[in-house]
Structure 1
Amino acid sequence: MNPLFLRQQQLHTWINQETNFQCTELQMISGDASFRRYFRFLSNGSWIIAVDAPPEFEDCSKFIEVAKSYRRAGVLVPEVYCYDLQHGFYCQQDFGDRQFSQALNEQTCTQLYQKALACIPAIQSCLATASGSLPLYDHAFVQRELTIFTEWLLDEYLKLPLSSEQSLLINNTFQFLTEEFLSQPVAGVHRDFHSRNLMLIEQDEIGVIDFQDAVVGPITYDAVSLLRDCYQMWPVNLVDTWLQQWHAEFYAEYDWRQFKRWFDFTGMQRHIKASGIFARLHLRDHKSVYLYDIPRTLGYLVTVGRSYAELTAFSEFIENTVLPSVTTKQKDS
């Protein structure tokens, strides 16, 4: 029997036998970049979300603990009704189908981004759960993420041979970005605070999902995830305006130029990592749809990198070597 179908059957049985809900049919909503799968079912006139999170790959307890911490801080996250940590099943509140990403257009973007940015300070107040402190985005953590780029995008996907000069350039860039990344003040970080992980619920309030990877890290990280989204791209002047307004409202104690520098360098780190993750999702997890997000993600490295003398050579390497290789690879696929 198909393992995924078997898991779905087990989830269905668990709901009916071990919870207060009754489920006639599980309707598949989606999978995502992780191993989690989401289903919707009707119980006593209310829609409920059921989640299949295989315990060998996913830690349900982290999601549940962070959800409690976020709710206490006033972040609008789904209530977790019941769970089975051993089997990796849980049921949570249904936020509906109005995705933030799908509501974005030229008329709505400013208001929606301002509302989403306003959620971040509450998230940043969450440094721990009942189980203890959130993981720290430390030097080793940053380095592990950056190596995803070289291992999965350059080596495994592109099979790109690097000269000794290019290897040195990459290593020096990674070292520089790591130092800059770790130099800024820290706060609670959602870590995937982008348009696909936000929902619009009653009165267009922002509902936040997919927060199980929360850490303590740079104060600009979630703003970068949102405003330089790997799945959405907006004009530079608009992004700068939104960021500057957010800075003035919540972070005026920091010099604007320094804050912008933190934002830019944090974004470089995130987009280096993300481009490698997209290649890994294709090669390891057979989720090839993410390949089409690699050029956009690398594009940020080009446009932001060329604004800083320390990153110009790396920006040129991405523009002249990596991006053309990605384009060629995708045309040949």
Structure 2
Amino acid sequence: MSAPTRREEALEWALGQLGWTQWSSKTVSSDASFRSYYRIGSGADRFIIMDAPPEHEPVQPFLDIGARLRTAGLHAPRVLAADPARGFLLLEDLGSRPYHLVLDPANADELFDDALQALRVMQSRVETEGLPAYDAARLLQELALFPDWFLRCHWRIEPTDAELDDWDLLCALLIRWALDQAQVFCHRDYMPRNLMVSTPNPGIIDFQDAVLGPISYDPVCLFRDAFLSWPSERVDAWLESYRVRGLAAGLPLPESSDLWRRTCDLMGVQRHLKVIGIFARIRYRDRKPEYLDDVPRFFAYLDAAIARNPELAPLERLIAAWKGRRQLAQ
């Protein structure tokens, strides 16, 4: 008789918590991590099981950050039961309508208004004591994903010593812009895929990697997303509205709209380079090739930032040189 799978173990554990004898279940999603999610239901009741193998994805950060968000009045899923040693959580079901499947040009203002109001609460009221710092070492480690995984594994090129010198200077520039901002609670993946249309709106998920980080990081995540793109004029208007309303609410945002726009652009470049590297790592380490399909969107974001920020000219030259030598891996 074969050993039970983790899904079977997770379902057996959850049923023991709920005391159900009649039930149904289905896979909700698996993400870019090692976690899996299942919806379990009986009659009108529905819950989510998180299965996070503890050797890869300890659940304690999820429990800690979720409690901080709920204490601040934000809609993170309630935890009904937990077995951290096995990596199983039984969670409130926030529904099946993530922002990225619901957003359209007509409803975007309303939905993003709710998301930005939640973000203002997050950046002003959520307890940050004990959070890891989004410091220079962490920012640089993330930037290194681009040459280590995308250039070397996907484009199959080795940067020259001169190119690496230019790359180091670019990284220093991006890190300086990140650290010169106010540091606040930072979800670190505050994008439409991780926001659920719910009551109260939005439901917030995938928050376990939160840090104390740059105030522009989460607003940039929201609007320069892996799955949805918006006209730059509309993104600029949303970001400026966040600055104005955030200042009125007491958030430590720049008084200058131009400085805020440049801050968001350069913070975005750090994230875009990181995400491109992550998508390549998921492809070549984790054997999930579909994430690379969204890489052109991030190069488009980089092109837009380069076009209006002269200090990014070295990045334009580097990308052009590397693109000219690329040999795509199969």
Cα separation, partners in 2 of 1:207 and 1:263, compared to 1, 3 Å: same
From 128, 133, 136, the counterpart of 2:133: 136
Q: Do the aligned residues in 1 keep the contact of 2:69 with 2:126 (CA within 8 Å)?
A: no
> For residue 41 of structure 2, what is the aligned residue in structure 1?
42
Matches of 1:85 and 1:7 in 2, distance apart?
A: 14
Q: Counterpart of 1:290 in structure 2: which amino acid?
A: Y
Q: Do the aligned residues in 2 keep the contact of 1:190 with 1:211 (CA within 8 Å)?
A: yes
Superposed, 1:303-318 pairs within 5 Å as 303-318=304-319
Cα separation, partners in 2 of 1:141 and 1:21, compared to 1, 3 Å: farther
> For residue 222 of structure 1, what is the aligned residue in structure 2?
218
Q: Do the aligned residues in 2 keep the contact of 1:127 with 1:133 (CA within 8 Å)?
A: no
Q: CA deviation at 1:20?
A: 3.2
Secondary structure in structure 1 of the residue aligned to 2:153: helix
TM-score calculated relative to the size of structure 1: 0.91
More displaced, 101-110 or 80-89? 101-110
Matches of 1:74 and 1:59 in 2, distance apart?
A: 25
Q: Counterpart of 2:80 in structure 1: which amino acid?
A: Y
More displaced, 151-160 or 161-170? 161-170
> For residue 31 of structure 1, what is the aligned residue in structure 2?
30
Q: CA deviation at 1:291?
A: 0.5
Matches of 1:191 and 1:21 in 2, distance apart?
A: 36
Q: CA deviation at 1:2?
A: 8.8
Matches of 2:100 and 2:169 in 1, distance apart?
A: 35
TM-score calculated relative to the size of structure 2: 0.92
Q: Do the aligned residues in 2 keep the contact of 1:22 with 1:44 (CA within 8 Å)?
A: no
Q: CA deviation at 1:44?
A: 5.8
From 134, 148, 156, the counterpart of 1:151: 148
Percent of aligned pairs sharing the same letter: 33
Q: CA deviation at 1:173?
A: 0.3
> For residue 196 of structure 2, what is the aligned residue in structure 1?
199
Q: Per-residue displacement from partner, 1:142-173 (whole Å, max 9, x unpaired)?
A: 11111111101111222113233322221110
Matches of 2:173 and 2:136 in 1, distance apart?
A: 12
Q: Counterpart of 2:193 in structure 1: which amino acid?
A: R
> For residue 264 of structure 1, what is the aligned residue in structure 2?
265
Q: CA deviation at 1:202?
A: 3.5
The answer for unaligned runs of 5 or more in structure 2 is none
Q: CA RMSD in A?
A: 2.1
Secondary structure in structure 2 of the residue aligned to 1:192: coil
Cα separation, partners in 2 of 1:251 and 1:325, compared to 1, 3 Å: farther
Q: CA deviation at 1:114?
A: 2.1
Q: Per-residue displacement from partner, 1:255-293 (whole Å, max 9, x unpaired)?
A: 222222221111111111000000001111111110111
Secondary structure in structure 1 of the residue aligned to 2:209: coil
Secondary structure in structure 2 of the residue aligned to 1:133: coil
Cα separation, partners in 2 of 1:325 and 1:89, compared to 1, 3 Å: farther
Q: Do the aligned residues in 2 keep the contact of 1:184 with 1:218 (CA within 8 Å)?
A: yes
- Whether 1:165 aligns to 2:166 is no
Q: What is the count of residue pairs matched by the alignment?
A: 324
Q: CA deviation at 1:198?
A: 0.6
Q: Counterpart of 1:237 in structure 2: which amino acid?
A: E
Matches of 1:58 and 1:14 in 2, distance apart?
A: 18
The answer for unaligned runs of 5 or more in structure 1 is none
Matches of 2:104 and 2:2 in 1, distance apart?
A: 40
Cα separation, partners in 2 of 1:323 and 1:73, compared to 1, 3 Å: farther
Cα separation, partners in 2 of 1:321 and 1:108, compared to 1, 3 Å: farther
Q: CA deviation at 1:247?
A: 0.8
> For residue 275 of structure 2, what is the aligned residue in structure 1?
274
Q: Per-residue displacement from partner, 1:285-320 (whole Å, max 9, x unpaired)?
A: 1111101111111221121023222111212432x2
Q: Per-residue displacement from partner, 1:90-139 (whole Å, max 9, x unpaired)?
A: 0100011111111111211222222211211211135547xx51111011
